[in-house]
């Protein structure tokens, strides 16, 4: 499975179609992948496992989300005021 994830990351170009978000507006897709990345990272850090599987979510949200949103959310997480449940 790890090889499959690594192969997908190597062939990654842009966010693939996600059936959960069929509309043109990808705001919710951006938000979900941002949360999924940080949840994945938190869960794997707690287990002491490698964070490589989380890399997929990071690449997707980096390609979908405006940098200003990412910076704002990172600042909010650092301050403890982030509205999402991670």
Domains of the chain: residue spans and CATH? 26-85 (1.10.10.140)
Q: What is each CA distance from 66 to 43, 71, 79, in whole angstroms?
A: 26, 9, 20
- Convert the pLDDT of each residue in 25-57 to its tens digit: 889 989 999 999 999 999 999 999 988 889 989
Q: Are 73 and 61 in contact (CB under 8 A)?
A: no
21-31 per-position pLDDT tens digit: 777 888 998 99
pTM of the model: 0.80
Q: Is the model more confident about 35 or about 3?
A: 35
């Amino acid at each position: 499975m790890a090889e499959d994830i690594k192969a997908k990351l190597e062939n990654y170009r842009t966010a693939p179609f996600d059936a959960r978000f069929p509309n043109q507006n990808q705001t919710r897709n951006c938000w979900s992948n941002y949360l999924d990345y940080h949840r994945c990272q938190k869960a794997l850090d707690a287990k002491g496992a490698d964070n490589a599987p989380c890399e997929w979510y990071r690449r997707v949200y980096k390609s979908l989300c405006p940098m200003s949103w990412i910076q704002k959310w990172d600042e909010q997480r650092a301050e403890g005021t982030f509205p999402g449940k991670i």
